Amino acid sequence: MIVDCAVYRDGRRTGGPSDLSDALDEARAAGGFVWIGLHEPSPEEFALVSEEFGLHPLAVEDALKAHQRPKLEVYEDSLFMVLKPVFYEPEGDTVSSGEVMIFLGDAFVVTVRHGAGSPLAAVRRRLEDEPQILAKGPTAVLYAVTDATVDDYLDVAGELQTDLEELETEVFSAEGGGSRNTASRIYTFKRQVLEFRRATGPLTAPLARLAGTGPTGVAVPFADAGSRPYFQDVGDHLTRVNESVEGLDRLVSDILSAHLAQTSVRQNDDMRKISAWAAMAAVPTMLAGIYGMNFDHMPELHWAWSYPALIALMAALEVLLYRLFKHRGWL
């Protein structure tokens, strides 16, 4: 559905157009631009917008189906950019992502949002409070949306760092590392980092193109050349995020290896204890088996002190084995 639609002139909102079909004409006549915001539009709802603004069919298909990687595509009449906003859910300590598609033309901006998180109403209000920035045209909207998205990345990276420290404390605690749920928590956290990386990693190349620092260095159509330093600043923030994601991924892999090593050591300790107790149990079993055969030619069977002597021998051997295993740390 259409969340908001307004025409902007000199950085100030002049109100919504009376009819969507006249929105672009009104914006061009006023020397401004129109900004239409949609949230999970149906094909029928988006068909009118795409027809009026001449959006490319391939980009329209991507915007309707969603599930796209962050990217930047240039078409004849518009610029198409995909962002994956990420938000942190403290109730479940999980990371979720949505999608924002931005169509940018000479006098229009169309934003399509998928998912419950990262609403763009706050970005629109912030821009309307800063008309000197909004006066730069559609490129200002593209910059504001990307900047807000990357700023959210920084917040999520901080939350994940806190979760990682808690997980690290649990793994290296005296009892927590042996919990059955520890490995599951580590794997779940690694999945969260992977989800985060899918949003941040592919965005590097589009921001480099907008900043003019990409492989070609060619200016991107429909993007104001004066906005390059701003996109470069956003790219610098994204670099910090990607470095943080790389660090989180390495640390969680190290924590998983440490947990597996601890588990292996504990299993070895348990096996040594079991082996020690089994060896101690084998001695009296062996002696009892030998003297329980009741052969006729076993003179010890008729000795008066045979039974107490055998019991004393068993006890002495048990004490000797116990002290030996205790000294070696097996018990």
User: pLDDT tens string for the chain (331 positions)?
Assistant: 777 888 888 888 887 766 776 777 777 887 888 888 888 888 888 888 888 888 899 999 988 888 889 999 999 888 999 999 998 887 777 888 889 999 998 888 999 998 866 668 888 889 889 888 888 889 999 999 999 999 999 999 998 988 888 888 877 776 655 566 777 788 888 888 888 999 999 999 999 988 887 665 567 888 888 888 999 999 999 999 999 999 988 888 888 877 777 777 677 777 777 877 887 788 787 777 777 776 666 666 667 777 777 788 778 888 887 788 777 777 6
Partners of residue 112 on adjacent β-strands? 38, 101
Strand partners, 99: 114
Strand partners, 310: none
Kindly report the number of other CB atoms within 10 A of residue 52's CB atom.
19
Q: How is 235-284 classified by DSSP, letter by letter?
A: HHHHHHHHHHHHHHHHHHHHHHHHHHHHHHHHHHHHHHHHHHHHHHHHHH
DSSP string, 219-240: PPTTS-GGGHHHHHHHHHHHHH
- Supply the pLDDT for residue 120: 84
Task: Note the pLDDT of residue 299.
Answer: 67
2 backbone φψ class: left, alpha, beta (φ>0; ψ -120 to 50): beta
pLDDT at 239: 93
Cα angle for residues 165, 89, 145 (degrees, 5° grid): 105
Report the alpha-carbon distance of residue 166 to residue 109 in Å, rounded.
43
pTM: 0.77
DSSP code of residue 14: -
